[in-house]
Amino acid sequence: MDDAMLEIRGASVSYGAVRAVSDLDLTVGAGEVVAVLGANGAGKTTTLRAITALVPYAGSIRFDGDEVSAVGTEELARRGLIHVPEGRHIFGSLSVHENLLMGLPARAGRTGGYTVDDVYDLFPPLVALRNRSGWALSGGEQQMVAVGRALVAAPRLLLLDEPSLGLAPIVVAAVYRALREVAKTTPMLVVEQNTGAVLDLCDRGVVLADGRQVVEGTAAELGGRRDLLDSYLGQRVLDEAEA
Ligand code: ATP
């Protein structure tokens, strides 16, 4: 693809004898939001770890045309490939505001994007929590801080690992409402098990099962195949309407 920001061709990842991802083909173009859906153990996190050069892979994964394994994790972040990992990983001993400021170094001179004040506008619940320590936040508040910190880094491509994980439906709805706003300016690759939430955000997506791509399509096409998706995801997923 000519203008793909991220281009994955025939990528595979193994942990010893375990083949976690097999022969994955996936692209994210400028201005696109792409979802990777799958059940526990399907290979979603491993895919993000390969994209950020945290694990070795076979095949090709290019960000802006450069093979990510040759660029390396830290330089990829400096170039604007910003990863919000599963489990948020915010700093418990730092305040909300200090956590948000931690996004600034990864800006590496990029202008535009979100300021810390923009993040407070995006996530109003964080305003009153500005001085609260990270360890005293709820899961939803931590997720808002983790996404906010990533936005302060002025991502050129934002990678999100299960932003809905462990959150109540009403909190999932709030986080995804904000992500839909972010999507107007920032391309994303979002890994999820929550089909309902992510299909309202993405342009298109793929479903992984046992590390293999088993279904792909536009959000509308995937939305029309919910029974098939739910069977691959091994669960009835929450619909945002329940929130
Ligand atoms: P989850 O939603 O549970 O995080 P996932 O779709 O992100 O699942 P991965 O974490 O990528 O899946 O795991 C894919 C496969 O690789 C699983 O079989 C898992 O047990 C295995 N795996 C993941 N990390 C390792 C590791 N460090 N060593 C060995 N096997 C691993």
What confidence tens digit (pLDDT) does each residue in 113-142 have?
A: 899 999 999 999 999 999 999 999 999 999
Residues with CB under 6 A from ligand 1: 15, 18, 20, 38, 40-46, 86
Indicate which atom in ligand 1 lies nearest the CA of residue 161: 7
Q: 46 C-alpha vs ligand 1 centroid, how far in Å?
A: 6
Indicate which atom in ligand 1 lies nearest the CA of residue 48: 11
pTM greater than the 0.85 cutoff: yes
Burial group, residue 29, by CB count within 10 angstroms (0-12, 13-18, 19+): middle
Please calculate the CA angle 98-166-86 and round it to the nearest 5 degrees. Answer: 55
Kindly give, in sequence order, each residue whose CB lies less than 8 Å from that of residue 171, ignoring residues fewer than 6 positions away. 138, 139, 140, 143
CB 225 within 8 A of CB 215: yes
The confidence score (pLDDT) of residue 109 equals 87
The confidence score (pLDDT) of residue 1 equals 46
Q: 130 C-alpha vs ligand 1 centroid, how far in Å?
A: 35
Look at the block and give the residue holding tokens 């069977």.
Answer: 231
Least confident range of 160-169, 195-204, 229-238? 229-238
Indicate which atom in ligand 1 lies nearest the CA of residue 193: 2
Residue 34 exposure: Cα atoms within 13 Å on the Cβ side: 23
Give, using CA atoms, the residue closest to atom 29 of ligand 1.
15
Output the average pLDDT for the chain.
Answer: 92
How far apart CA 4 and CA 32 sit, in angstroms, is 10
The confidence score (pLDDT) of residue 50 equals 98
Bridge partners (DSSP) listed for residue 217: 205
- pLDDT, tens digit (0-9, with 9 covering 90-100), for 141-152: 999 999 999 999
- Which of residues 243 and 170 earns the better pLDDT score? 170
Q: Is the pLDDT of residue 219 over 90?
A: yes
Q: 56 C-alpha vs ligand 1 centroid, how far in Å?
A: 14
Q: 43 C-alpha vs ligand 1 centroid, how far in Å?
A: 6
How many C-beta atoms lie closer than 10 Å to residue 20's C-beta?
22
